Amino acid sequence: MITVLGSINIDLVARTRRLPRPGETVAGRSANTAAGGKGANQALAVHRAGRPVHLIGAVGRDGFAEPALAVLKEAGLDLSRVRQVEGATGSAFIIIGDDGENMITVVAGANGMLGEEDVERSLAGSRQGDFLMLQMEIHADMISRALAMARGRKVKTILNIAPATGDVLDLASMADIVIANESEFALLASQPLKGLDDQIAALRRLHDNCHQTIVVTLGPAGAMAISDGQIIQVPALPVTPIDTVGAGDTFCGYFAAELDRHGDIERALRVSAIAGSLACTELGAQTSIPGRDVVMAALINPHSLPLSVGAGYGIEFYVERIDDTG
């Protein structure tokens, strides 16, 4: 069983030709609201990867609560442990440029009100070997409590250190598995990292100190990890990204799901790197999470792309064809 303790947001998304600089106003070309939040996105990714998942989170008592949960509800996720609290639903203000780059401001709202009872709830019924997955959009004290309590119960913990905050070093040291993107990993390593050799050296150094499994997502270069002293590197799927929001969450959800399924880190990494790539080919943090059938088809034969997908939620992927004829 996988439990996700984390944020539920409404994403307010504007698309522009290019991102504004500080103090600058740029013309937007479209705007929309969408369901998001790293906790919600990752729980949905676990679900689409075909594993049972519990989401522990909170929404406010406002007009955003329902749309923030709509995709999860439609997908049939168990939301019985999501509370409604006084105040505002968490929100993320996202600007996406034509090159796929984005900038995000997150306002915690109800996510910041998750407390000890939610931590208790996140571990109620968990057994040795189950997984608890967390991100950094809820209060650091609650992350710390959940990690400590999970360790006491021999529940395996996965901490996605996104968005990286000042608490990252302390919290990361408490998790069994840490997942970071390149900039988050440089913070974890407490040094600028120039290229793959630096990153591998930092992975080895951190692993020697704390023996954790550490996973680094590398965008179009795939992902790598260190586990039991071994460095593992896997490729991404070559795609034309149109929106990378939620790709990291898709990676995390698939990674947890695949680990839960068979316990093989390399295979989990391979599958989740492909899932993360596919998530960049659609708009929206949740609507872009691919179904497992699509991911496995791309894993077995990337040349079968482009894919027109009946993943069960009516979305089509347009993936750049890999042409081996040159």
Q: Which residues bind ligand RIB (CB under 6 A)?
A: 7, 9, 11, 36-38, 41, 92, 104, 106, 137, 245-246, 248-249, 285
Q: Specify the 3-state DSSP secondary structure of 209.
A: helix
Q: Which residue number, 9 or 212, has a Cβ lying nearer to ligand RIB?
A: 9
Find the DSSP H helices in the chain: 38-48, 65-75, 116-123, 140-152, 168-172, 182-189, 195-210, 247-262, 265-279, 292-300
The DSSP code for 21 is: P
Q: Which residue number, 10 or 237, has a Cβ lying nearer to ligand RIB?
A: 10
Q: Which residue number, 137 or 260, has a Cβ lying nearer to ligand RIB?
A: 137
Q: How far is the CB of 229 from ligand RIB (least distance, A)?
A: 31
Q: Which residue number, 16 or 233, has a Cβ lying nearer to ligand RIB?
A: 16
Q: Which residue number, 118 or 184, has a Cβ lying nearer to ligand RIB?
A: 184
User: Nearest residue to ligand RIB, using CB?
Assistant: 36
> Which residues on adjacent β-strands are paired with residue 32?
13
Both tokens of residue 53? 């998942």
Instruction: Residue 109: name the closest of 144, 65, 142 by CA.
Output: 65
Q: How far is the CB of 225 from ligand RIB (least distance, A)?
A: 20
Q: Which residues contact 51 (CB under 8 A, 6 or more apart)?
A: 2, 256, 257, 260, 261
Q: How far is the CB of 3 from ligand RIB (least distance, A)?
A: 19
Q: How far is the CB of 32 from ligand RIB (least distance, A)?
A: 13
Q: Which residue number, 9 or 281, has a Cβ lying nearer to ligand RIB?
A: 9
Q: How far is the CB of 269 from ligand RIB (least distance, A)?
A: 19
Q: How many residues does the chain have?
A: 326
Give the rounded distance of the alpha carbon of 223 from its chain centre. 14
Q: How far is the CB of 53 from ligand RIB (least distance, A)?
A: 17
